[in-house]
Amino acid sequence: MKKIVTWILVISICVFVISWGVIGLKIYDGNYDFQTEAYIALVCFIVIFSSIIYLRFTNRCPNCKKIVLINGKYCSHCGKEL
Ligand SMILES: [Zn+2]
């Protein structure tokens, strides 16, 4: 599951960058009809944001299986190295 979310995150970052590139090119060409691209970018932004939150909140300790919120070297519940 975590791998899928990581892939979704990578893909949506790519789509996000591409859609902004398209918007940039359209503005450069004097074409201000980029509503579709703006929506795609917005959806990607939401997907990126939720994937990051998902990955943050599913970071579990291999020792006590509790959710570790901080990306530290040690578990905040049992103190074991992650
Ligand atoms: Zn732990």
- CB-hemisphere CA count at 13 Å for 38? 6
Domain around 64: 1-82
Average model confidence (pLDDT) across the chain: 89
Angle at which helix 35-57 crosses helix 2-28, to 10 degrees, equals 150
Centre of ligand 1 from the C-alpha of residue 65, in Å: 6
Centre of ligand 1 from the C-alpha of residue 20, in Å: 41
Please, are residues 58 and 16 in contact by the beta-carbon 8 Å criterion?
no
Whether pLDDT at 60 is above 90:
no
Mean per-residue pLDDT, 41-55: 93
Centre of ligand 1 from the C-alpha of residue 69, in Å: 11
The answer to pTM > 0.75 is no
Between CA 41 and CA 12 the distance in angstroms is 9
- Please give the tally of structural domains in the chain: 1
Outline where DSSP puts E strands in the chain: none
Collect residues with CB below 5 Å from ion ligand 1.
61, 63-64, 75, 77-78
